[in-house]
A and B are shown apart, each in its own frame.
Chain A
Amino acid sequence: MKPPPFDYLAPKDFGGALEAAAKHGGEAKLLAGGQSLVPAMNFRVTQPSLLIDLNRVPDLDYVRPDGSGGLLVGAMTRHRKLEFDPAVKQAAPLLSEAIPFIAHAQIRNRGTLGGSLAHADPAAELPVLALALEARLRAVSLRGERWIEAADFFQGMFTTALAPDEILREVAFPAMTAGTGWAFEEFARRRGDYALMGVACLMHIDAAGRCDRARLVFLNAGDGPVLADEGAAMLLGSPVSAETAREAARHASEKEIQPLGNLHATPEFQRHLARVLAQRAILSAVGRARPSPKAA
């Protein structure tokens, strides 16, 4: 229950972190908030020979407007800051609403946005939220930098598009379109536990009251955040009724997710939860959507 020995670097600036990652990328682990990495090291499930601690690197902890209504968030921004930041609530209320579901306040005080995304746990909330909100992730290395769409970033269980020498520096969350309804639902055995199932829903209604955009992303429903395109498409083109919500949720939970089951839930039970939670999330998002104003 103690980590095995490892070497430790705490670069004082981002350039130093990039050099360390370029030199040691393969055998090193980046230490962000440590709320998943340190327990894994305590259990000796993960045994990196080197830790590159990003906590001494300045200017990675911020929430800034991106100039078009969205947000740029530094990778080392703690969950607790996102949870209460008024700019987050304004631009991406789905985030503000879902972040309290992440573990407990003590964990949210340390855990970081970038750490959670780069860890890519299929049972974590932030990868689901990043995919639902169509976030873009800025990966930097000594070779240069690139922006990665959330849909391309998550590549499987604990696996991302990041190369060993790349560091996730920043995340761009586009503004939720005006009038978009949102909802996040999850079921856990106890408050703060990893959820057995969860779902995020975004919903937009046009001037005629018809759904013209819907997005459903499931948590703990496969080897990464799972986008349910077909279920969401079933909501388009008409007003969303309890009936269509039920059918879309049924389709997504039966056809589009691949829950793996665990000690506390069979895959069948997870599918049941997915159906119930998705139906709830769709109706809740519809209730919050404000139809576009009619053209004059």
Chain B
Amino acid sequence: MGVELLPIHLTVNGKVYQASVEPRLLLSDLLRHELDLTGTHVGCEHGVCGACTVLFDGEPIRSCLMLAVQADGHEVATVEGLAAGPGKLHPLQEAFWKAHALQCGFCTPGILMTLVPFLETNPEPSTAEVREALSGNLCRCTGYQHIVDAVMLAARASRESAGAS
């Protein structure tokens, strides 16, 4: 049996990509190995660790639990698309940097892609809500406290800049 390749096109971070994929190719592997977007990390490959979280049509999902072919015609956003340009940081990335919310950084892309949409729908979260939102992402370095601090910092910064304008 020859392996059939299926043509797909999808939008990642606003850019259109085309690829020919085996049905068994995971979305996470498409991003990393075919599109060279290695910011999305792969941890457990069974949906537990959250490292591979990306936005699929605007909502956070596990890219290791989707097939690349399922993304045909859809929009994906990865950590590479967060910052406005080279040398710049997304406000949440800035807050992570200030609050020391990462150490090794392996889990960080998945956590950012979980929390960016969370903050958009919950601009004034409580720490309990932040912890709940974080519950699907494992971090082995930080003990989570500094991540929670960073989210609260980003939320405050966003409110202050909105108030100032």
A contact set with B: CB distance below 8 Å: 1-8, 10, 31, 34-35, 38-39, 41-43, 51, 53, 55, 80, 103-107, 109-110, 190-192
CA distance A34 to B28 in the complex (A): 14
Contact between chains at A6 and B24 (CB < 8 Å): yes
- Assess the B132–A191 pair: CB atoms within 8 A: yes
Q: Tell me the nearest residue of chain A to B133, going by C-beta.
A: A105
Q: What DSSP secondary structure best describes chain B's contact surface? A: mixed
Which of A31, A39, A55 contacts B47, CB < 8 Å?
A: A39
Task: For the complex, give the distance between the alpha carbons of A110 and B70 in Å.
Answer: 12
- Contact across chains for A6 and B136 when beta carbons are under 8 A apart: no
CA of A234 to CA of B133, assembled, Å: 40
A190 to B131, CA, bound (A): 12
Given contacts A39-B46, A42-B45, contact A51 B23 (CB under 8 A): yes
B93 at the interface (CB under 8 A from A): no
Of B6, B23, B24, B66, which is within 8 A of A34 by CB? B66
The A contact surface, by secondary structure, is loop
- Is B22 close to A, CB under 8 A? yes
Chain B, Cβ-Cβ closest to A35? B65
Please determine whether B66 and A7 come into contact, CB atoms closer than 8 angstroms. Answer: no
Selected contact of B61 from candidates A3, A10, A109, CB within 8 Å: A109
Q: Is B102 an interface residue (CB 8 A)?
A: no
Q: Which residue of A lies closest to B42 (CB)?
A: A1
Contact B3 A105 (CB under 8 A): no
**B: which residues have CB within 8 A of A?**
1, 3-4, 6, 22-24, 26, 29, 45-47, 50, 53, 56, 59-62, 64-67, 69-70, 114, 132-133, 135-136
> A5-B24, A8-B6, A191-B135 known; A106 and B61 CB under 8 Å?
yes
Please indicate the chain B residues that have their CB under 8 angstroms from the CB of A192 in the complex.
135-136
B34 to chain A, nearest CB (A): 14
Instruction: Find A110's partner among B6, B22, B65 (CB 8 Å cutoff).
Output: B65
Beyond A2-B24, A109-B60, is A7–B4 a contact (Cβ under 8 Å)? yes
A-B contact pairs, 24 of them (CB 8 A): A2-B26, A3-B26, A4-B24, A5-B24, A6-B23, A6-B24, A8-B6, A35-B47, A35-B65, A38-B26, A38-B47, A38-B67, A39-B45, A42-B46, A43-B46, A53-B69, A53-B70, A106-B50, A106-B61, A107-B62, A107-B136, A110-B56, A110-B65, A191-B132
When chains A and B are docked, how far (Å) is the Cα of A258 from the Cα of B135? 30
Please, which residue of chain A has its CB at the minimum distance from the CB of B138? A190
**Closest partner residue, chain B, to A191 (CB atom):** B135
A3 touches B46 (CB 8 A): no
A103 to chain B, nearest CB (A): 7
Which single member of A34, A43, A80, A104 contacts B135 (CB below 8 Å)? Answer: A104
Q: Which residues of A contact B66 (CB under 8 A)?
A: 34, 38, 110
Nearest A residue (CB) for B118: A105
**Chain B residues whose CB sits within 8 angstroms of the CB of A38 once the complex forms:** 26, 47, 64-67
Contact assessment for A8 and B69 in the assembled complex, using a CB-CB cutoff below 8 Å: yes
Q: Which residues of B contact A4 (CB under 8 A)?
A: 24
Residues of A within 8 A of B135 (CB): 104, 190-192
Whether the Cβ atoms of B64 and A42 lie closer than 8 Å is yes
In whole angstroms, what is the CA distance A39 to B66 when docked? Answer: 10
Q: In the bound complex, how far is the Cα of B111 from the Cα of A104, in angstroms?
A: 13
Given A1-B45, A55-B70, residue A110 in contact with residue B64 (CB < 8 A)? no
A104/B50 in contact, CB under 8 A:
yes
Please list the 3 inter-chain residue pairs (A to B) with the smallest Cβ-Cβ separation, ordered nearest first: A104-B136, A8-B23, A39-B46
CB-CB under 8 A from B56, the residues of chain A are 109-110
Contacts of B45 in A (CB 8 A): 1-2, 39, 42
Choice from A1, A31, A80, A106 contacting B136 with Cβ under 8 Å? A106
Known: A8-B67, A55-B70. 15 other contacts (CB 8 A): A5-B3, A10-B69, A31-B67, A34-B70, A35-B65, A42-B46, A42-B64, A51-B67, A53-B67, A80-B59, A104-B50, A106-B114, A107-B136, A190-B135, A191-B135
